Amino acid sequence: MKKILVALFSVSALIMGVAQAEFNDPGGVGGLNSLRGDTRLEETRPADSFKHTPKDQVVETDYVYQPPLIPHQIRNYEVSLNANKCLSCHSWKNAKDSGATKISVTHFMNREDAVLADVSPRRYFCLQCHVTQVDAKPLINNNFERVDSLRDE
Ligand code: HEC
Ligand code: HEC
């Protein structure tokens, strides 16, 4: 009986200890870091510097229907109710002069698959799906492989 009590006591002491550590150091238990690094929630850390955006399409697509990454800088490109800077180069009308890839037909389709005369409202906010590629260090290693049908070797 005494042994059981001692065992119970030490287990609960251990749990209390972990709970207390979690309370003192939120997110610190287990040594896990989030995107914030090891900055505590109450603190504001200095922003990261801008990442370099490689110009060539170095990051290839991994699966069919993946939105291609943006291989250029998009700082100060306005996409709002009044203006869409992306379309000033990527629309079918302007693509030839700007040398940019035309948006594909899918971008004219509404959710009933009807093809509209202009960009579908659901494709208007380009950055919902397209992001710039950067040569950032992966946060964690992974062994993801592209689907077979897209592998060129
Ligand atoms: C000044 C013209 C210009 C503007 C503005 C522009 N782009 Fe581009 N974009 C290009 C050109 C040119 C390319 C072809 C690749 C290259 O040489 O950089 C390109 C490539 C791309 C690609 C890759 C296409 C592919 O074939 O894989 C995507 C995606 C893209 N842009 C998205 C955007 C988005 C989203 C915006 C707005 C935030 C935008 N672009 C604004 C000129 C522009
Ligand atoms: C709902 C997600 C979504 C939005 C919003 C969206 N795209 Fe795309 N985009 C895609 C996907 C998925 C593809 C690849 C498959 C395809 O062509 O439909 C693509 C392909 C492209 C391509 C390459 C076309 C080609 O022929 O290789 C360009 C350029 C592009 N998008 C530009 C834009 C621009 C500019 C906008 C904003 C006006 C935009 N996209 C909005 C998902 C999106």
Quick one: 30 and 63 in the same domain?
no
Q: Give first-to-last CA distance, the chain, whole Å.
A: 68
Residues with CB under 6 A from ligand 2: 65, 67-68, 84, 86-87, 90, 101, 103-104, 106-107, 119, 123-126, 128-130
Atom 43, ligand 1: residue with shortest CA distance: 89
**Which atom of ligand 2 sits closest to the CA of residue 122?**
5
In a domain, 73, yes or no: yes
Q: How many whole angstroms from 69 Cα to the centroid of ligand 2?
A: 9
Could you give the number of structural domains in the chain? 2
Quick one: 59 and 115 in the same domain?
yes
In a domain, 14, yes or no: yes
Quick one: 61 and 42 in the same domain?
no
Quick one: 56 and 34 in the same domain?
no
CATH of the domain at 79: 1.10.1130.10
Q: 21 or 123: whose pLDDT is higher?
A: 123
Q: 149 or 118: whose pLDDT is higher?
A: 118
The answer to whether residue 80 scores a pLDDT higher than 80 is yes
In a domain, 153, yes or no: no
Structure tokens at 26: 């939120």
In a domain, 150, yes or no: no
Ligand 1 mutation target, pool 70, 75, 102, most atoms within 8 A of CB: 70
pLDDT at 18: 52
* Rounded CA separation 120/114 (Å): 10
In a domain, 118, yes or no: yes
**Which atom of ligand 1 sits closest to the CA of residue 126?**
35
Q: How many whole angstroms from 61 Cα to the centroid of ligand 1?
A: 15
* Rounded CA separation 106/64 (Å): 13
List, for residues 138-148, the tens digit of each pLDDT value: 778 888 887 78
Atom 26, ligand 2: residue with shortest CA distance: 104
Quick one: 54 and 15 in the same domain?
no
The answer to whether residue 127 scores a pLDDT higher than 60 is yes
pLDDT at 140: 81
Q: Using CA atoms of 22, 26, 30, 31 in order, give the dihedral in degrees to the nearest 10.
A: -150
Atom 31, ligand 2: residue with shortest CA distance: 103
Total residue count of the chain as it appears in this document: 153
Quick one: 79 and 136 in the same domain?
yes
- Could you tell me the residue range of the domain that residue 25 belongs to? 1-47
The answer to whether residue 57 scores a pLDDT higher than 90 is no
List, for residues 93-107, the tens digit of each pLDDT value: 999 999 999 999 999
Position 24: which residue type?
N
Q: 108 or 135: whose pLDDT is higher?
A: 108
Could you tell me the pTM of the whole model?
0.79
pLDDT at 98: 94
The answer to whether residue 26 scores a pLDDT higher than 60 is no
